[in-house]
Amino acid sequence: MELSRRNFIKSTLAASAAVAAGISTNSSAVAQTQEVVVERWVKGVCRLCGTGCSVYVGVKGNRLVAMKGNVESMTNTRGYLCVKGMNIWKVAHHPDRLTKPLIRDGKGVLRPASWDQALTLIEKKFKEYHKKYGYDSVAYYGSGQCTTEESYTFNKLWKGGFGSNMVDGNPRLCMASAVAGYMSSLGSDEPAGAYADIEKSKTIFLVGSNLSEAHPILFRRVTRHKKDNPDVKIIVCEPRKTLTSSVADLWMPSLPGTDLAIFNGMAREIIKNGWYDKEYVKTLGRVTTGDGSKELTWDDYVKHLEKYTPQYVEKKTGCPAADVKNAAKMFAQSDATLSMWCMGLNQRANGVWANNLIHNLHIITGNYGKPGADAFSLTGQPNACGGVRETGSLAHLLPGARPVANKKWREFVEGYWNVQKYSINPSKAINPKPGMHAVKLFSSLGGEKDKTKPVKAVIMSTTNPAQTLPNVNKFIGGMQDAFTVVIDIFPTRTAQCASVVLPAAFIYEKGGVFGCSERRSFLTDKAVNAPGEAKADIWIAAQIAKRMGLTKLIGWANETNIDRMNELAWNDYIGCTANTEKTLKGATYKRLKESTVGVQWPCPDEKNPGTYKRYVRGMDPIFDNPKRYGYTIPDDAKEFFYARPHGKANIFLRDDPDNSEQTSKAYPFIMTTGRVLEQWHTGSMTMRIPETAAAHPHSFVEINEKDANRLKIKNGDIVKVESIRGSNILPAKIVNNTLEGVIFVPMHDQKADRMVNFICSDIVDPISAEPDYKVSAVKITKVSGPKKIDGRYLVTREEMNKKSFS
Amino acid sequence: MIFTSAVLYFDKDSYKKLLPFIESHTEVEVYEKDIDAGKLILVISTEDDAQLEVIQKNFLANDLVIDFTYHAIHFGESVDKLIEGKIEIDFEDINSKKKNKLQ
Amino acid sequence: MSLINKIKLFLNSFDDNEYYRINRMRPPGAVDEKLFMKLCVRCSKCIEICPYRVIKRSDLTKNLEAGTPYIYAEEKGCQLCMNCTSVCPTGALDNKLTYFRDTRIGVAIVDDTICLNHLLYNQEEAGIADGTVAVCNQCFNSCPLKFDAIYLEDMILPTITDKCTGCGICTESCPTSPQKAINILPNGMADINSAGYKQYLKRIEKGGR
């Protein structure tokens, strides 16, 4: 080619311009995504938090392409979603999806296998261990993110088929204290009221909850309610200033682990000033202590509270004395007070007591039963209520959330399940002794050779204990040594420890029922097929049932259609619990399929619309036929806590012990943990969504500016946060609105040196066995100046073959 | 002779409409195109910078043009003349002329 | 004046309203743009010291800004570690600036036509609901000076205060696409029109970058 000097100059100029302007000379048309074309919208619930927003997923061909809110919803009214939920469908088609069963070979490498190979191995191991080490040597660890049908199936398989109560789940790590709180205070698990109480309330007490980030849709309902009704008073009590505090009329700071003093302090103020409801206390309250067996007097209660003067409370908690009085006044003198709490009260050394104390405040002020008044425990996971608590898929429960130790109920379930005939356990019965709770289970899990570890195998689904157990270093070895089967959609830390990994179907690929915080069960329809060979949990349970000789017990085991399997499991479940106060007998599968609002239990028959408010005649159908449920309710009782003898809720005398890990000279800071709006749990899903992960692509440690200045730590510096159990290396975020001496680390990062559970305290509540994630004693040391952090760390398929976590 | 390379950003759906307009400027040659991204690389050959500015003004006035930005200017023989002192450049004058009005 | 000096003078003094882009800012501590262009000797020290690789050399050149440092907020915002201000040898970045809250790289502006929270609020106020709106807050949540530089009006509408440093972390976090709902107007802007904002909107509208 002939190039004159002129042409050369021109070409050079053009070429450099082209590079600068980013012109690709090989420009093949990149199709601009125009308006997304949706062929059909499929009804369902959001995969994430316990709010239970209902949605429609948009489908084109066999792909999810969009999501929108259900405008008829009773939970996310007007169909609002949060940015996390709006994008969660994107994980379905992510390339990292597990699509084939994997079996770990002798060299520690996970190799693809067929379902038959994987299931045969599982069958072999289960049968071997049952024989060698007993029926309690094989456990199931479930999740509040599995569907109700799946949890019910596995629970029945274990408790009815194997005669083993070695069934527990991750709600043990989040809701167990709330469960025990409800059971001991009111006699029955789960809230009396519903979200509808938000718009009817006059005072809202938000405590132990970062509502704005953990339940953003409910936060919007609260803030909108306040905007439309400026007289509504909102109290926020928390250990660090969060966005939630912006809506507060009264902000009560409280050092982590100390707020029991505040609740007792508020009660003292309420009683001293005569702001309590004498009549309500007389007819519907009962003073007690300890396990609730011995009744005490009102005077005993008043005397017990004397210690909790505002000055005492201020000294203990850091909450100003005047605020205790103001809070008491706002709480007691409103026409309707609604309390909402979550992990801040549950994940505590005395979480059950914290729950009891909130119930106390409501009982003494008569704040149940009427519109806008309730002690409402928010659930973190989308199906901890429906799938685990209500089906009784915990070590000490049976369906209907009744204790396995309750002989009458146990015998009923044995009969209903025909355990006598179908169980493969020679006892031919449900074991009356509770199994192991989560922390105990994983402490007892280990290899065959380890005689100190009686549990040799565990199968778990939709949960990640190798990242979420407190003091997690203690449990990783056991998981690696035992025969561990992990069902999941993505590689996780737990899958990294597994002997067998089974690829799972995502909620929109299998369908099923989720029951949210407000007792509302909602059915998600299957929208698309699962990728590769991924299967629904219920199918996996069915195969195990068949192989273990329990096809008759699990009547749906031979079905091939997942929807049919789900329906049969659901029918079995609602039949089993039809005569409990949690009855969903009226929520037939057909009704759930057609409904755009779901069904709130108790719902005893198809005509019943579902129950907004429990324990109130005219609203709660239990009143119409109490005998059916084993209760006695006086005919003239308008309000009655029928699950408790004489219908009286318990006012508990509780102390404020210092059972959390205490700070010391060596470990002078209190570390508290929590979440951020944009991430979910261990980040295996949300770290894979760039749009939302951009806000928080990795963990950090939030340090008060004054503390930071003392330690000469600047914004972005890399610091080591260390407890006696372990440490993390984290970038510092300097803030000026948290409490001095308190630091905060979120829970979502998978990177080994940013997994906060290496640090967390493994003290558990003595009643519920729920760990005290909220209080750990740590020290902070500067490691270096600011460094670039590679965010969105993900455990890969390759890393799953390594023994150590990077 | 001054040679200038420029990047032309335009409404990608209107490439066909824009083409005659570009071609009506004999000083302008299209060297590269990325029509899907709405970008063209132009090389403009003018006698002096005043003529260059007229062309720029014309382009920016066209509704289908989103932006027209210079990338590099080669002053050609003018540089040799400059160094030999045969041309004097009045910097003040250039400053006042180089006011590009943004839409 | 010799030719060389005339050229030097010319290179470094020109109308500073010429060509700016939103979301393209100078590093923290940058002096007034006109002065900056005189002082910056393109030594790259600030680019090298930035631990996050947020400061980059300018790409598309116009007005001879080639080699000068920029932060592109849409890719990554300034993490306010303040390492760069002390290494600039000429004072183009103010060496005395060490406290991150005093930085003024620019100011964030919210585009209320695409901000998810604004869209939700509009539906709420209008009493309509079509299921397409979502609560976001990512800009607020990621802001290193949250509550001070940004707060949520009515608990939902992101509102910027005069404490905004213009670091751009909010822009980086914003989930909307192709255009961000929150953008940084770099310091030294005369007004929105001359900032190239309208040009940028036009370009993005038509599918450019």
Give the whole-angstrom CA distance, residue A492 versus residue A497: 9
Verify whether the Cβ–Cβ distance A691 to C177 is below 8 Å.
Answer: yes
pLDDT at A2 over 50: no
Q: Is residue C123 part of a domain?
A: yes
Averaged pLDDT, A759-763: 95
> What is the DSSP annotation of A677-713?
TT--TTSTTGGG-HHHHTT-SS--EEEEHHHHHHHT-
Inter-residue contact A239 to A672 (CB < 8 Å) = yes
Nearest CA among A371, A370, A185 for reference residue A263: A185
Give the side-chain half-sphere CA count within 13 A for A775: 27
Which pLDDT belongs to residue C209? 44
Per CB-CB distance under 8 Å, the chain A contacts of B7 are: 17, 20-21
Which pLDDT belongs to residue C5? 67
Instruction: Output Rg (C-alpha) for chain A, integer angstroms.
Output: 27
Alpha-helical regions (H) of A418-472? 419-422, 438-443, 465-468
Which pLDDT belongs to residue C15? 47
- 10 Å CB burial of residue B79 (0-12, 13-18, 19+) is exposed
pLDDT tens string A762-784: 999 999 999 999 999 999 999 99
Give the whole-angstrom CA distance, residue A758 versus residue C196: 49
Q: How many residues does chain B have?
A: 103
Tokens representing residue A552 in the block: 């008759």
Q: Which has more confidence, A38 or A33?
A: A38
> What is the DSSP annotation of A110-153?
EEE--HHHHHHHHHHHHHHHHHHH-GGGEEEEE-TTS-HHHHHH
Per CB-CB distance under 8 Å, the chain C contacts of B41 are: none
- Taking the CA atoms of residue A47, residue A48, residue A49 and residue A50 in that order, the dihedral angle to the nearest 10 degrees is 10
pLDDT at A487 over 50: yes
Mean pLDDT for chain C overall: 83
Cα B92 off chain centre by: 21
pLDDT at B32 over 90: no
Verify whether the Cβ–Cβ distance A786 to C83 is below 8 Å.
Answer: yes
Nearest CA among A277, A460, A238, A472 for reference residue A366: A277
Per CB-CB distance under 8 Å, the chain C contacts of A212 are: 137, 155
Work out the minimum CA distance from A286 to partner chain C, whole angstroms: 40
Which pLDDT belongs to residue A30? 31
Binned at pLDDT 50, 70 and 90, residue B50 comes out as confident
CATH class (in words) of the domain with range B2-97: alpha beta
pLDDT tens string A358-385: 999 999 999 999 999 999 999 999 999 9
Nearest CA in chain C to A709: C99
Tokens representing residue A762 in the block: 């493994």
Give the whole-angstrom CA distance, residue A770 versus residue A382: 19
Nearest CA in chain C to B91: C10
Tokens representing residue C119 in the block: 């869209």
State whether the Cα torsion A772-A774-A779-A785 is positive or negative.
positive
Give the whole-angstrom CA distance, residue A462 versus residue A169: 10
Give the side-chain half-sphere CA count within 13 A for A665: 0
Per CB-CB distance under 8 Å, the chain B contacts of A14 are: 5, 31-32, 41-43
Residue B78's φ and ψ, nearest 5 degrees, are: -55, -30
Order the strands of the A250-253 sheet from edge to edge: A250-253, A233-238, A203-207, A337-341, A374-377
Cα B51 off chain centre by: 9
pLDDT tens string B58-103: 888 888 888 888 888 888 777 777 777 776 666 555 544 444 444 3
Averaged pLDDT, A458-464: 97
Cis peptide bond prior to C178, omega within 30° of 0: yes
Task: Say which of C13, C202, C206 has its CB closest to residue B12.
Answer: C206
Nearest CA among C52, C45, C105 for reference residue C69: C45
Strand partners, B67: B9
Strand partners, A484: A458
Per CB-CB distance under 8 Å, the chain C contacts of A784 are: none
Strand partners, A744: A672, A702
Per CB-CB distance under 8 Å, the chain C contacts of B99 are: 15
Domains of chain A in start order, with CATH, are 40-93 (2.20.25.90), 102-174+383-579 (3.40.50.740), 176-378 (3.40.228.10), 669-801 (2.40.40.20)
- Reported as type and span, the H/E element at residue C157 is strand C157-160
Question: Domain range for residue C73?
Answer: 16-205
Per CB-CB distance under 8 Å, the chain A contacts of C130 are: 68, 71, 79
pLDDT at A201 over 70: yes
Contacts of A598 (CB under 8 A, 6+ apart): A52, A54, A74, A520, A521, A522, A523, A592, A610
pLDDT tens string A649-692: 999 999 999 999 999 999 999 999 999 999 999 999 999 999 98
Q: Which has more confidence, A101 or A22?
A: A101
Inter-residue contact A739 to A806 (CB < 8 Å) = no
Nearest CA among A242, A689, A688, A220 for reference residue C134: A220
Give the whole-angstrom CA distance, residue A491 versus residue A796: 6
Inter-residue contact A102 to C157 (CB < 8 Å) = no
Cα distance between the two ends of chain A:
56
Nearest CA in chain B to C4: B83
Cis peptide bond prior to A602, omega within 30° of 0: yes
- Reported as type and span, the H/E element at residue A520 is strand A520-524
Which pLDDT belongs to residue C196? 52
Going from the C-alpha of C89 to that of each of A497, C41, C46, C92, C93, the distances in angstroms are 52, 9, 10, 8, 8
Mean pLDDT for chain A overall: 94
Chains that touch C (3 or more CB pairs under 8 A): A, B
Give the side-chain half-sphere CA count within 13 A for A147: 33
Q: What total of structural domains would you count in chain C? A: 1
Verify whether the Cβ–Cβ distance C61 to B71 is below 8 Å.
Answer: yes
pLDDT tens string A142-180: 999 999 999 999 999 999 999 999 999 999 999 999 999
Inter-residue contact A205 to A237 (CB < 8 Å) = yes
Cα A707 off chain centre by: 32
Which of A84-93, C30-39, C95-104, C152-161 has the weakest average pLDDT? C30-39
Give the whole-angstrom CA distance, residue A1 versus residue A11: 13
The one-character DSSP state at A208 is S
3-class SS at B35?
Answer: helix
Q: Is residue C9 part of a domain?
A: no
pLDDT tens string C110-142: 999 999 999 999 999 999 999 999 999 999 999
Nearest CA in chain B to C206: B11
Averaged pLDDT, A395-423: 96
Work out the minimum CA distance from C34 to partner chain B, whole angstroms: 14
Verify whether the Cβ–Cβ distance C209 to A80 is below 8 Å.
Answer: no
pLDDT at A751 over 90: yes
Chain B contact residues (CB < 8 Å to A): 1, 3-7, 29, 31-37, 39, 41-43, 45, 71-72, 74, 76
3-class SS at A586?
Answer: coil
Cα distance between the two ends of chain C:
43
| Mutation target among A4, A6, A10 for the B interface, most CBs of B within 10 A | A10
Per CB-CB distance under 8 Å, the chain C contacts of A733 are: 144
Nearest CA among C113, C111, C88 for reference residue C185: C111
Task: Say which of C52, C131, C172 has its CB closest to residue A68.
Answer: C131
Give the whole-angstrom CA distance, residue A147 versus residue A511: 8
pLDDT tens string A443-460: 999 999 999 999 999 999
Inter-residue contact A280 to A363 (CB < 8 Å) = yes
Which pLDDT belongs to residue C20? 60
Which of A628-632, A686-690, C201-205 has the weakest average pLDDT? C201-205
For residue A617, the tally of other CB atoms under 10 A from its CB is: 17
Nearest CA among A177, A261, A247, A265 for reference residue A206: A247
Verify whether the Cβ–Cβ distance B35 to A30 is below 8 Å.
Answer: no
User: What residue type is assigned to position A201 of the chain?
Assistant: S
Q: Is residue C102 part of a domain?
A: yes
Strand partners, A296: A287
Nearest CA in chain C to B88: C3
pLDDT at C17 over 80: no
Nearest CA among A544, A612, A692 for reference residue A89: A692
Nearest CA in chain C to B34: C208
Give the whole-angstrom CA distance, residue A144 versus residue A175: 10
